């Protein structure tokens, strides 16, 4: 059991945008690389944006990328890495501008962090809804970090169904409760979770120089988050059912309705083919199905405030495969579940030449 919380963090690695830079400038969709090589590349890229950033900090950023599942153990893009490449923008601009997220990037990072760090985000949301702001002292940060990690691991301990998981989680809880956090360790453990919520636009921060985080007056986004995902069981269910983007629509109050309108196969293919082309141009042999589906969902929400459910989207693609088996094919994973998409060159050419206004 892997708790959905980022534990190994660094005070310099607290901006979601660093994942975009790591994917688009420092890693590959097809070639593996040593950790040290990627860390050196990332440190150089961030430093070019006039932001002090050393190689050890960059190594923590690579840990963050693995924790979010955007790269695998060989540092090659996963399906989520391809999603970042499709939706994120990296420009030649100073760091303070680079870390600001567009609406599309906010939806992207909400999707990534809910899966990789959702337990922490929900804990903080509940805390802020109760107290209004986080502590602004080292002792306060240390107490908050101790509460967050001990409570999250304790909650996962109740859900653990194997002896190995229970032993590991119990040991972690006992260690945190016994040792706690001292000095600046607590604040450094908390920065990435809080700064992510701030960049998502769900909480406020007093200034760029102060770590004073608080709720907005109505706190509508935080309330929607804890209402939609009230516990760890529901968190896992949302992720397994691929409903994260639907939750994002409620949290960010976008999407003209939860049911949406009726979609045709042709409309979905017009959206899917340009994204498919971009993925295949990276050199991968097959296109991850979830990458295309979530890129379409996020693009529609960000550009048109329109929600297309994941289940509906997959159903339309499956209908396309039944009607055009020579043009649309699925490849299954080890469980026999459709996981990859393959379009024929003729289909790609046909939809590329249409110049459709459906592009995202």
Residue 256 has what pLDDT?
Answer: 64
Alpha carbon distances (Å) from 144 to 147, 178, 190, 191, 214: 5, 15, 8, 12, 14
Q: Which residue from 28, 122, 132 is spatially nearest to 71, judged by alpha carbons?
A: 28
Domain 265-352 is in which class? mainly alpha
pTM: 0.95
Decide if pLDDT at 235 tops 80: yes
Alpha carbon distances (Å) from 209 to 76, 194, 205, 206, 213: 35, 14, 10, 8, 12
- Provide, rounded to the nearest whole percent, the portion of the chain with pLDDT above 70: 97
- The band of 90, judged by pLDDT with boundaries at 50, 70 and 90, is very high
Residue 259 has what pLDDT?
Answer: 60
- The band of 209, judged by pLDDT with boundaries at 50, 70 and 90, is confident
- The most distant pair of C-alpha atoms in the chain lies apart, rounded to whole Å, by 64
Mean pLDDT to the nearest integer, 245-253: 95
10 Å CB burial of residue 128 (0-12, 13-18, 19+) is buried
How do the domains of the chain map onto residue ranges? 7-100, 104-253, 265-352
Decide if pLDDT at 356 tops 90: no
Q: Which helix (H) or strand (E) holds 204?
A: strand 204-205
Decide if pLDDT at 355 tops 70: no
For 260-302, the pLDDT digits (tens) are 678 999 999 999 999 999 999 999 999 999 999 999 999 999 9
For 129-175, the pLDDT digits (tens) are 999 999 989 999 999 999 999 999 999 999 999 999 999 999 999 99
Q: Which residue from 210, 206, 195 is spatially nearest to 137, judged by alpha carbons?
A: 210
- Token pair listed for 348: 């790609």
- The band of 354, judged by pLDDT with boundaries at 50, 70 and 90, is low
Decide if pLDDT at 56 tops 80: yes
Residues 267 and 306 sit within 8 Å (Cβ to Cβ)? no
Residue 255 has what pLDDT?
Answer: 76
| Mean pLDDT, all residues of the chain | 94
Least confident of 129-133, 215-219, 294-298, 347-351: 215-219
Q: Which residue from 62, 117, 110, 57 is spatially nearest to 83, judged by alpha carbons?
A: 110
Mean pLDDT to the nearest integer, 13-42: 97
């Amino acid at each position: 059991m892997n708790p959905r919380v980022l534990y190994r963090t660094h005070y310099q690695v607290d901006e979601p945008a660093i994942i975009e830079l790591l994917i688009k400038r420092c890693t590959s969709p097809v070639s593996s690389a040593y950790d040290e090589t990627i860390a050196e590349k990332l440190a150089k890229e961030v430093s070019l944006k006039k932001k002090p950033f050393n190689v050890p900090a960059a190594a923590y950023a690579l840990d963050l990328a693995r924790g979010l599942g955007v790269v695998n153990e060989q540092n090659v893009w996963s399906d989520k890495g391809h999603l970042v490449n499709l939706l994120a923008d990296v420009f030649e601009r100073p760091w303070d501008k680079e870390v600001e997220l567009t609406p599309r990037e906010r939806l992207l990072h909400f999707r990534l962090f809910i899966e990789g760090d959702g337990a922490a985000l929900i804990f903080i949301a509940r805390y802020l809804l109760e107290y209004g702001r986080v502590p602004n002292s080292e002792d306060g940060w240390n107490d908050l970090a101790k509460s967050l990690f001990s409570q999250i691991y304790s909650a996962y301990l109740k859900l653990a169904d194997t002896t190995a998981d229970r032993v590991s989680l119990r040991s972690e809880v006992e260690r945190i409760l016994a040792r706690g956090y001292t000095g600046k360790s607590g604040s450094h453990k908390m920065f990435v979770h809080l700064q992510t919520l701030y960049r998502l636009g769900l909480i406020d921060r007093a200034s760029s120089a102060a770590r004073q985080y608080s709720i907005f007056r109505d706190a509508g986004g935080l309330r929607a988050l804890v209402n939609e995902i009230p516990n760890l069981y529901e968190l896992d269910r949302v992720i397994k059912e691929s409903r994260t983007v639907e939750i994002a629509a409620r949290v960010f109050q976008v999407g003209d309705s939860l049911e949406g309108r009726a979609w045709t196969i042709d409309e979905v293919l017009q959206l899917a083919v340009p994204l498919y082309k971009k993925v295949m141009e990276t050199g991968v042999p097959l296109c991850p199905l979830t990458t295309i589906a979530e890129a379409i969902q996020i693009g529609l929400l960000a550009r048109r405030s329109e929600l297309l459910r994941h289940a509906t989207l997959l159903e339309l693609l499956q209908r396309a495969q039944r009607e055009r088996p020579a043009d649309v094919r699925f490849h299954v994973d080890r469980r026999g579940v459709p996981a990859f998409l393959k379009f024929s060159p003729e289909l790609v050419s046909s939809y590329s030449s249409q110049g459709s206004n459906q592009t995202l």
